[in-house]
Chains A and B, each alone.
Chain A
């Protein structure tokens, strides 16, 4: 009999081990403080109906290498512009050298930038290694030279001419010429890359790339656009023709090939599942260009896979990682404390930025009753207590998001105030639509139906916020049932429009708000589009179409304000929170510029994007010695609100 009883214990031991392993596998979760939709929503356009057939109809019209046709002739009287007037945004004090270690929560599935499994968070880092024709100054938002030195806009507001920088080279030493841009079009339109969204984009949005000579090209947009939008849309990246062999095996063959880069870094070593290292090019072509000088100062970058945030934190405290994001309140307030911080070995920074905010909210599916009723939607908006969440769970660190589009400079309609938690107003609106009886549990009823909604969400650490909202909503007689799914599964349900209320955020971006994909009736009641509220309104459609076609910035701004107001009035989205800053901790040997960051800085220690910081190797010895001996160094907690609005 004694033998028998060991079995259940043994069983639970196995179970515990399995659970431990599973928690290692699943524990890693990227968190930058705001909810992000899974990566494939990050660019916010991909979910817009990819029309596969069009990719095949408009096959590339580019010249092939063998039968080189006569080159097109550049129109006369082109007025080339450039920008060497804006101030530099790097610190001349920066020193080259040293190595920088950071972590990612999971190893990328591929190094390709397009095709299956390529849209993970790591792709964001890799994309920073590929420069575009022009870049935008992070403070003035004016175009600045990148791979092109000059640009000019044709009167049709569709074509942009670019003069390429003749000094620009790939990391493997080959020159970057017009042919590489022609190849971009050929590549992106190819069926072999298995990327319908890119096929579509480079057929409909980028309709042509014209070569005038090896260093002069034009890129043609499918639609006329205002100046900055047009430049942003046409500033494509070249693709190395000499590197890619486009055939049906491309997806498999190029999974782990290191594509030559145009920026200062290139992939050095890869150990699958463990780490990836990058090295700085010794004679990078843009080394001494005005806007690239004093940037990208670190010689070696090591990105380690650490699947659990808590474990990553201990790595950071040991000095194995150089910096750590502290956007999450309990990290900033509770975890980032103690001797290492008090003695000045690790510094903390809170840096306010000013950029498009992720559209974080509760998205009400108007196709599901009773959310088709505007009174219910308005009542619900007044039943959601975001401020209590901010004041309790979020420690007053986050701010209330006012409306869908915030942080777009002139385009933002700053007159809109979000609907506040107000039981009486909620009561008023619910009564208007007949939800005036209460069940024995305090939840409103109408015709035997309870006023209960399912809230679909995919981020486990948001549960804290939602339980507060759920309890508060009861005061208005609304029941919210929380439905936590795995983030990909949750997003899938939302894109299939099977949700009732989706708690999620679209990552912010671009130069101006986008309305078509979120609110045009074309995208309503169809799976796989970004109109997850299924809202449609002929008036709104008309204005959205006008906005999409408008070329004058002034009028577009006015239309954007009107559109934003209409969306607010429709009450299809309950805006939740925004984080108008970035926070991080770094070891004292990591030096930030005197101004810390730029208006558009999302991470002060972005190594490939901003590349403004540097590693003080001599000071590292000082810090390590002081730490060993327990001597204090000047302690610093920086709060910079230069860009606070």
Chain B
């Protein structure tokens, strides 16, 4: 692959900032892993060997208990099945994921009341929440969800914000002025209250929540894109392109946008962090995704309400701090690598 020398330099620079680089690597790895969360934390077995046949129940239809010789027709309890197979010693076996719980099921331990403390023997590595659901499983699925949420939020926000911002900067005139006023009015609408009102009359699902947030948050990036386009527009290369008869869309897409992309890119990590905190905050307040969706905000609320069960708040706070710190480090490194000056002197 041939890279523009400037881009190669930026990548080189990014790699040289170890903290940011490794944070980026870990984050990407975590995201890839979380896409396969069903193989890490799940109540369905990875592999079941029953009567010399192999079954892979993770993805696909549910397998009723009587299929494996149990006395019920609902979904097989694989943890129980594993136990039974071990006792029978008939050559059948079950391979469970490392965390053998899904984020929804409440596990009751005889003689104890949830929340259960972390325990290796029960394989609740981070304990359970107040309803007996595995905290580790909920954190993993919650991570996947908040990442997906903030990525999608980012894509929609930037798509709308960049388009309008570029057009404002490029076209100027009445279009610019009208949108400036619209954005000013728009930005004074209190988003949080709108979400609260919407959440109290209907249940916002994943897409509705994204739609509401995009509705109010696309304005954030417009100002920067407008300024940047405005600046680039008056440069001679743009005038040259115009003189050669390039169309508006070509000028915007091929000349202006690539030259203002650094603005966008440096914002991305911080937008992701803000997306995660937004979702967490909304879930914390109970205006986010409906229960029983695994979410960090909901865990956080449980943790704050039950501070004596330190593992709930402890796990989720640690997870949040780690992820947000890593995202910030990545952001810092990206910003640094797009900075044309290699050294900055502060006086």
Contact = CB atoms under 8 A, between A and B. Distances in A.
B104 A460 contact: no
Contact of B200 (A1, A16, A471, A486): A486
B263 A12 contact: no
Contact of A4 (B61, B266, B308): B266
Contacts of B84: none
4 pairs of A and B residues whose beta carbons are closest in the complex: A440-B61, A486-B200, A475-B74, A442-B62
Contacts of A393: 106, 113-114, 130-132
Contacts of B131: 392-393, 463-464, 467-468
A5 B106 contact: no
A484 interface: yes
Interface stretch (B174-182, B278-286, B312-320): B278-286
Contact of B335 (A5, A9, A485): A5
Interface residues of A, number: 53
B72 A5 contact: no
B260 interface: no
Interface string A427-440: 10000000000101
B291 A463 contact: yes
A333 B306 CA distance: 12
Interface of A: 1-2, 4-5, 7-9, 11-12, 15-16, 18-19, 22-23, 26, 310, 329-330, 333-335, 388, 391-393, 395-396, 423, 427, 438, 440-442, 460, 463-464, 466-468, 470-471, 474-477, 481-486, 489
B12 interface: no
* Chain A contact surface mostly: helix
Given A22-B196, A467-B133, A482-B292, A442 B75 contact: yes
B105 interface: yes
A482 to B, nearest CB: 5
Contacts of A463: 131, 291-292
Contacts of A464: 130-131
A8 B271 contact: yes
A276 B201 CA distance: 32
Given A19-B284, A395-B113, A467-B291, 11 more contacts: A2-B335, A8-B273, A11-B274, A12-B274, A16-B277, A392-B113, A442-B75, A460-B286, A475-B72, A481-B290, A484-B203
B220 interface: yes
Contact of A22 (B108, B273, B285, B290): B285
A16 B281 contact: yes
B291 A482 contact: yes
A12 B277 contact: yes
Contacts of A391: 108
B192 A19 contact: yes
B200 A442 contact: no
A189 B32 CA distance: 69
B74 A477 contact: yes
B172 interface: no
A445 to B, nearest CB: 13
A1 B338 contact: yes
Contacts of A427: 73
Nearest to A334: B308
Contacts of B75: 442, 474-475
Interface string B53-79: 000000011101000000011110000
A470 B218 CA distance: 37
B270 A5 contact: yes
Contacts of B335: 1-2, 5
Contacts of B133: 467
28 contacts: A1-B262, A2-B335, A4-B266, A4-B267, A5-B267, A8-B271, A9-B270, A11-B220, A12-B274, A15-B277, A16-B281, A19-B285, A22-B192, A310-B305, A335-B308, A392-B106, A423-B72, A423-B73, A438-B62, A440-B60, A440-B62, A441-B62, A442-B74, A467-B131, A475-B72, A482-B290, A482-B292, A486-B199
A23 B281 CA distance: 10
A23 B285 contact: yes
B339 interface: yes
A218 B192 CA distance: 57
B308 A8 contact: no
Nearest to A492: B201
A470 B267 CA distance: 41
Contacts of A468: 106, 131-132
A1 B337 CA distance: 12
